[in-house]
Amino acid sequence: METLDVPSVLRQLPVNLLFKKCGEDRIYSSDGFQQFFGANASSRLDDSSIAFYDPISKAPLEADANPFVLGETGGALCLWVRLKTNLFTFNCLVESKVVNLEDGNWIVLYVRNNADELSGGSNLSSVGKHLSFHQLLTNCSSKLINASECEVKTIIDQTLAAFGEFGNIDRCYMFEFSNDRTFMTNTHEWVAAGVTPYISELQNMPTSDMPYFMDHIQEGMFKVDDVSKIPDCAAAEREEFMREHICSILCVRIMVGGTLYGFVGCDIIGSPYKWQSYDVEYLERIGEILGNTLQNLVNRKAIANMQDALLDANKRLEHLANIDGLTEIPNRRVFDTTLSKQIELSRAKSTPLALLLVDADAFKLYNDNYGHVAGDDALKQIAKSLSNSCIGKDDLAARYGGEEFAVILPGVSKDEVHKIATRILRNIRRLGIFHEYSAHQSVLTVSIGMACLLDGKDSPTQLVQRADEALYRAKSAGKNCAHF
């Protein structure tokens, strides 16, 4: 009686089996397994290429973690794995059984390629698949609605991973175009266990190198069931896809604000795959979600930029409202407000407060003889000197009007006021602004009226009036001096 070869018998079974003899390394596959997963006369599955990975961690299942070893040593096995061969990679459920035959024990793995086989009916499987996808879509959408820019990057990665695992895809990714659409960059990539990532290589790629792809993606979609059949007019692109071991590719565009922003895509590695209508629909929905999310980010950035611009404009307006346009020191409006506040503080804390009114001497003669441009320049120099001469943190030097300035000196006693006024007189003389009609060494000088708050009883108007009267006395005393 002829003895049957065990591998030949198991190989002929019309079911999805992987098997090997206990204690040996060689793995065999059944014809049913070969046919179900894409092998044909021109593309045969190589049993020696079979490898197992953890579908979550992507770690290779080797040594004691290998399903064959687990099935041989631990009894019946039921385990989800990522199975990789030279033709394909996919998530599958493997169940094991040890078979005792004449030539020894054989460990047999029954491979189920997806959960559909477990659901017990194609209609139910189809409904279940759609329900699963919509649940995935809901989860991704809820995370992306109010996500910040930093959070969006992580959630996009999670979305691509979820879609890749859901669709049993080998690689899922997103590309962004430069503003002028001359370059594209791989910004996000998920790969299944055992699949080579290429994100680091696909940065700032010239779109001119992929005209065939660009023509299609600008219309909305690039769908290729068999990369080897891309026409010769796009031979360079075909070679690039094949270099990345891509056999089937599906990409859909991402639109933001009515403009092509980029695309989201997925690849099948190993053997060609005919993309189904639901594959296209699912990826288009993912593309829409990403486009809406990116549009929300653009809108939020635009609003934030508008708010920043409004704040800057308000600051500029406030500056213009509070700063004298010529001398660039605080104007009369700021002086009036500050004087009222400082008088209130002085009353509340029982602290001294002084006011100086400073007026340029013989300034009309200066303007008449040297012109208004020179006069304006002189006022700028006086303003700068006043600001530098007041060294208290709450001191304020402001332009009061015309050639007249005011200085508020909180917390300054009568003796200290006179010292500050003397310093101001000296510093302005040292400017050396030539004034032929000045009675003091032919340089521009100022006169100063000084007033101190009397027991906190003065109103702002009364304090200014007393300083103005003191200024008149300084002018009458020959100018270039300070008087109370």
Please indicate whether residue 403 is annotated as part of the active site.
yes
Strands 353-360 vs 396-401: parallel, antiparallel or unpaired: unpaired
User: How distant, in Å, are the alpha carbons of 94, 225, 282 from that of 276?
Assistant: 26, 10, 10
Structure tokens at 479: 């100018």
User: How distant, in Å, are the alpha carbons of 4, 79, 199 from that of 289?
Assistant: 58, 33, 22
The one-character DSSP state at 443 is B
Question: In residues, how long is the chain?
Answer: 484
Catalytic residue among 403, 404, 436, 469: 403
Place of tokens 């096995």: 77
Q: Which residues of 89-111 are buried (b: 16+ CB within 10 A; e: fewer)?
A: bbbbbbebeeeeeeeeebbbbbb
Q: Which helix (H) or strand (E) holds 237?
A: helix 235-243
Calpha distance 264→308 (Å, rounded)? 33
The one-character DSSP state at 5 is P
Strands 482-483 vs 446-452: parallel, antiparallel or unpaired: parallel
Give backbone dihedrals phi and psi of 269, rounded to 5 degrees, phi first: -105, 145
Spatial CA neighbour of 472 closest among 404, 377, 399: 404
H helices present in 38-191, as ranges: 67-74, 116-119, 122-144, 149-166
Calpha distance 172→189 (Å, rounded)? 6
Q: Which helix (H) or strand (E) holds 79?
A: strand 78-84
- Evaluate whether 212 touches 237 at the Cβ level (below 8 Å): yes
SS3 301: helix
- Evaluate whether 5 touches 19 at the Cβ level (below 8 Å): no
Give backbone dihedrals phi and psi of 173, rounded to 5 degrees, phi first: -155, 170
Tell me which residues are annotated as active site: 403
